[in-house]
Amino acid sequence: MSLHRAPVAILGTGSCVPDRVMSNDEVGAPAGVDDAWIVRKTGIRERRWAAPGEATSDLATGAARRALKAAGIGADQLSAVVVGTSTPDHQQPATAAFVHQNLGGSRTAVSVFDVNAVCAGFMSALEAAHALVALSGGYALAIGADTYSRILNPADRRSVILFGDGAGAVLVGPAGAGRGIRASAFHIHSALTGLIRVPAGGSRRPYDPAAHDAGLQYFTMDGRAVREFFMSTVPHLTKQFLNDSEVLPSDIAHVIPHQANGLMLDELGPMLDLPGATVHRTVRELGNTGAASVPLTLDRAARSGALRRGELVLLLGMGGGMSISFTLVQW
């Protein structure tokens, strides 16, 4: 049985980053690297880190408020709030519940939950919000938000130099003529789950003094293997997605990719073979903001006036697991 899905569009975008700017020299010193080394390896100049007491839900709420304002929709009109994050406020309840509380929506008949696909979390949140609105109507927030500064090892130069904190949000609702979310696709290579992980803090390896002493509470990544995987996999999956969506590569006007690493984007962009597309970036000034990077970059592109009505926008998510995801949007 197939269920009818009504057309759904992105009606508003928003983003939020902390005030605290962290230079390359500040984050690099404990790891034994300097500004020149970080720029050469990543293309990142600076990033934002959350202040003490500032949580993922705070950033997510800021982004959500801006998306609601851009769409002209009140919080009490929401039927769903979905947050993609791998750095929640708490193990429970869902960070989305705190966002709903912060927004002050009076409606209680709202679907509120988190999803975790690491840096591709927003893409899953968007698909869930899209499906809920398509099947039941109303308006939904899809948010990507992370505070990776809380789980980074200051001495690990492979990770501490890459990540910033932030949030991005979109408000989805019924589509008007000539716009809407046209297609999406998700891929998982679960044999590679060990490439990106936080070893302790879950049911497999609870967080305890021994785990703390071993540094197992920190984010770890095999950067070389991650880069090789994405570079060898993303281009052909992109071509497959566009073919399945019956869209020519030349039809894509904009690409909003996960902001993993500036140098990786330099290499990946031409390999996508999208001759008319602008590849949008925030990695230079914000670093890798995890699940926030796609919606945050989308918001900046939208607010700059770069996206024009009717243009095709390709959202590209890449995250631990290892996951790759696509969403095609007619703006």
Do 140 and 189 reside in the same domain of the chain? no
Annotated catalytic residue 258 = yes
Do 138 and 170 reside in the same domain of the chain? yes
Looking at residue 178, its pLDDT comes to: 82
Do 142 and 263 reside in the same domain of the chain? no
d(CA 65, CA 72): 10
Residue ending a domain, choose from 115, 143, 177: 177
Residue ending a domain, choose from 177, 194, 212: 177
pLDDT in tens, 289-318: 999 999 999 999 999 999 999 999 999 999
Domain region containing 273: 182-330
Given the residues 24, 116, 261, 288, select the one marked as catalytic.
Answer: 288
**How many domains, the chain?**
2
The CATH number given to whatever domain includes residue 270 is 3.40.47.10
Annotated catalytic residue 288 = yes
Given the residues 100, 130, 254, 258, select the one marked as catalytic.
Answer: 258
pLDDT in tens, 169-192: 999 999 887 899 999 999 999 999
Residue ending a domain, choose from 177, 200, 230: 177
Do 168 and 201 reside in the same domain of the chain? no
Q: How confident is the model at residue 5 (pLDDT cuts 50, 70, 90)?
A: low
Instruction: Work out the mean pLDDT of the chain and round it to a whole number.
Output: 95
Given the residues 16, 100, 116, 119, select the one marked as catalytic.
Answer: 119
| Residues contacting residue 103 through CB under 8 Å, at least 6 positions apart | 61, 64, 65, 68, 75, 78, 81
